[in-house]
Amino acid sequence: MIRQRDIAVASFVVLAALARLLPHPWNFGPVGAMALFGGAHFRSRYGAYGFPLAALALSDAILGFYPNLWLTYASFCIFVWLGTLLRNSRNPLSIASAALAGSVSFFIITNFGVWASQSLYPKTWAGLQSCYIAGLPFFQNALLGDAFFTGILFGSFALAERRFPILQGRPASV
């Protein structure tokens, strides 16, 4: 049986995915926060991973697919996993720490993928360093976007839970 909490959590994820379609600076987007939020609020593994990744896939279908897509999705699975660690302790420090860990892992994984699979950088230690250095402005935007949207999603849902007690309780089952 679908509960109001399930619908509310799914709605927050969908709204975050739709926000991705709005104009924004490179890498300043809601996707990491959406995955972290989904992991923290969906009770089932299917919902925690499936719903945010499906929302990401739908928005990618609209925006266009890109090289190393699988690395991006794998990185967002780390965000979801970090979110599952927040299920029993969603305090501001643990949420911020999880968002930071997700941002860092995304940066490390996706930039490594660019270096390893494309011809932009030589396949040397210096080439890998150059790739990471070139990605720093995007990493800065990702950190800011993840912090902003994590605050919006988790903060708004916490306010909604206070305002509407039916939303309180265990993570959603979807």
> Which pTM value belongs to this model?
0.89
Q: What is the pLDDT of residue 127?
A: 97
Structure tokens at 98: 């999880």
What does each C-alpha distance from 36 to 114, 130, 132, 155 come to in angstroms?
Answer: 24, 29, 24, 13
Residue 174 pLDDT greater than 60, yes or no: no
- Tell me, yes or no, whether 172 lies in a domain: no
What does each C-alpha distance from 149 to 95, 101, 133, 165 come to in angstroms?
Answer: 12, 15, 25, 23
Q: Which tens digit of pLDDT belongs to each residue from 90-124? A: 899 999 999 999 999 999 999 999 999 999 999 99
Domain assignment of residue 24, given as a range = 4-167
Residue 47 pLDDT greater than 70, yes or no: yes
- Find residue 42's DSSP bridge partners: 172
Confidence of residue 1 (pLDDT cuts 50, 70, 90): very low
Q: What is the pLDDT of residue 166?
A: 84
Q: What is the pLDDT of residue 170?
A: 60
Residue 66 pLDDT greater than 90, yes or no: no
Structure tokens at 100: 């930071």
Structure tokens at 77: 């699975």
Residue 56 pLDDT greater than 90, yes or no: no
Q: Which tens digit of pLDDT belongs to each residue from 4-40? A: 888 899 999 989 988 888 888 888 999 999 999 999 9
Structure tokens at 124: 């040397």
- Tell me, yes or no, whether 46 lies in a domain: yes
- Find residue 172's DSSP bridge partners: 42
Of 108, 128, 126, 105, give the one whose Cα is nearest residue 116: 128
- Tell me, yes or no, whether 44 lies in a domain: yes
Nearest-angstrom CA–CA distance, 174 and 68: 29
Of 68, 40, 62, give the one whose Cα is nearest residue 52: 40
Confidence of residue 171 (pLDDT cuts 50, 70, 90): low
Q: What is the pLDDT of residue 89?
A: 84
- Tell me, yes or no, whether 173 lies in a domain: no
Q: Which tens digit of pLDDT belongs to each residue from 125-159? A: 999 999 999 999 999 999 999 999 999 999 999 99
CA angle, 39 then 54 then 32, to 5°: 45
The amino acid at residue 170 is R
How many domains would you assign to the chain? 1
Q: What is the pLDDT of residue 173?
A: 57
- Calculate mean pLDDT across residues 67-84: 93
Structure tokens at 14: 């969908």
- Tell me, yes or no, whether 174 lies in a domain: no
Residue 75 pLDDT greater than 50, yes or no: yes
